[in-house]
Amino acid sequence: MLRRTLIAGLAGIMTLGIVLPAQADAISDAMAAVQKHAGKKETWNGPTSGPKAADGKTIVVLAADMKNGGVLGVTKGIEEAASKIGWDVRVLDGAGSVSGRTAAFGQAMALQPDGIIINGFDAVEQQTGMAQARESSIPMVSWHASPVIGPDPDNGVFANVSTDAMDVSAAAAQWAFADAGGKPGVVIFTDSTYAIAIAKADRIKETIEALGGTVLEYVDTPIADTSNRMPTLTTALLQRHGDKWTHSLAINDIYFDFMGPALAAAGISGDGQPKAVAAGDGSESAYQRIRGKQYQSVTVAEPLNLQGWQLVDELNRAMQGEEWSGYTSPLHVVTLDNIAFDGGDNNIFDPGNGYRDEYAKIWGK
């Protein structure tokens, strides 16, 4: 009888929403893990040595889709860095489709560049073009082309540049868990076209469930078609899950570019639930939504401009037969509380660690 009474009492406590000590510890631990990535980035921990700038090079950037904020941000960084190092850049937009990227790769090979940067699409998708580039001894570096950070010899990539995607995903999930008081009901958005997207979404799911939260739905929908799919998909998810849906977790910000109107139509305020949390990239539109409390609470941002500089540096190393730098760029959990620093006023995570000067010194510029 006593055992039944205790169980009933505990059930009553949980029904009332009272947080037990063990759960309180899990919440505080999750938020402590998030806070490690939320502070200012003022110290340079990247490379301080490397080859001087190779002269007179022409490079091609193969962009997955210039409508994607992450791809756009990296491209701007590449152009800025190329101007400093003294290279010409040609950007070819794959326009969000496999056929578009295939055509862009063909154009790139016709230009016979000194180097190629794959920006935001899976290297496996373009195996024919990759093989042609290897046969022509054209060095390639990439951003988000595989789950691997650094050299990816299987795909012929000298260095794949990224933050640690698993840390990004874990931080997003931990924030949602803590914000929901240990009881999140989440919908995860990903795109199985990309191996890295599936890896990130799987890590989000594993983290939420390991912490004791609930994954209501795991949605596989193409990044390239979010403008068409997300409005009706959001309405359908609201109908299916109602108030159980506390947080949306997506592998990048672009999914949230098109959710707001459907949420507003359902009478949900900009800072209401479900709260949107992006595991990458830190787009300009995401910063604007967070600042305005308009249907996004967090982006786990990557230093897109810095990564553009790193891509140019890695390509310079590749051209001159050097090893890759070994650098993994930092991630940053952006919330309303810390949005003002490290480039936040310009709607970008741009670390105040002096990376431009550091790379310029390496290149002799």
The string of DSSP letters for 10-42 reads: HHHHHHTTPPPHHHHHHHHHHHHHHHTTTS---
Dig out the tokens for 118 from the structure. Answer: 């794959």
Do 173 and 289 fall within a single domain? yes
Residues 292 and 199 in one domain: yes
Which amino acid does the sequence have at 113?
A: P
155 shares a domain with 179: no
| Same domain membership, residue 297 and residue 201 | yes
Q: Do strands 214-220 and 157-161 pair parallel, antiparallel, or not at all (unpaired)?
A: unpaired
Asked whether the beta carbons of 298 and 336 are under 8 A apart, the reply is no
Domain of residue 284: give its range: 165-301
Can you give the CATH number for the domain in which 106 is found?
3.40.50.2300
* Residues 132, 246 within the same domain: no
> Is 342 within a domain?
no
Regions of the chain short of the pLDDT cut 70 = 1-23
The answer to whether the beta carbons of residues 245 and 274 sit under 8 Å apart is yes
Domain assignment of residue 31, yes or no: no
For residue 284, is it within any domain?
yes
Same domain, 208 and 229: yes
> What distance in Å separates the CA atoms of residue 92 and residue 249, rounded to the nearest whole number?
30
In a domain, 98, yes or no: yes
Last residue of a domain, one of 262, 281, 301: 301
Residues 175 and 158 in one domain: no
Q: Decide if 344 is inside a domain.
A: no
Asked if the structure places residue 7 within a domain, the reply is no
- 88 and 127 co-located in one domain: yes
Angstrom distance (rounded) from CA 125 to CA 110:
19
How many separate domains does the chain show?
A: 2
Three state DSSP letters for 195-229: HHHHHHHHHHHHHHHHHCCEEEEEEECCHHHHHHH
Same domain as 135, residue 156: yes
pLDDT value of residue 236: 98
For residue 16, the model assigns a pLDDT of 38
188 & 288 share domain: yes
Is residue 1 one of the residues assigned to a domain?
Answer: no
CA 15, 16, 20, 24 torsion: positive or negative?
positive
Confirm whether 150 is domain-assigned. yes
Q: Are residues 169 and 273 in the same domain?
A: yes
Find out whether 246 and 185 touch, Cβ atoms under 8 Å.
yes
In this prediction, residue 146 carries a pLDDT of 85
Same structural domain, 317 and 279? no
The pTM of the whole model exceeds 0.95: no
The answer to whether residues 41 and 332 touch, using CB atoms and an 8 Å cutoff, is yes
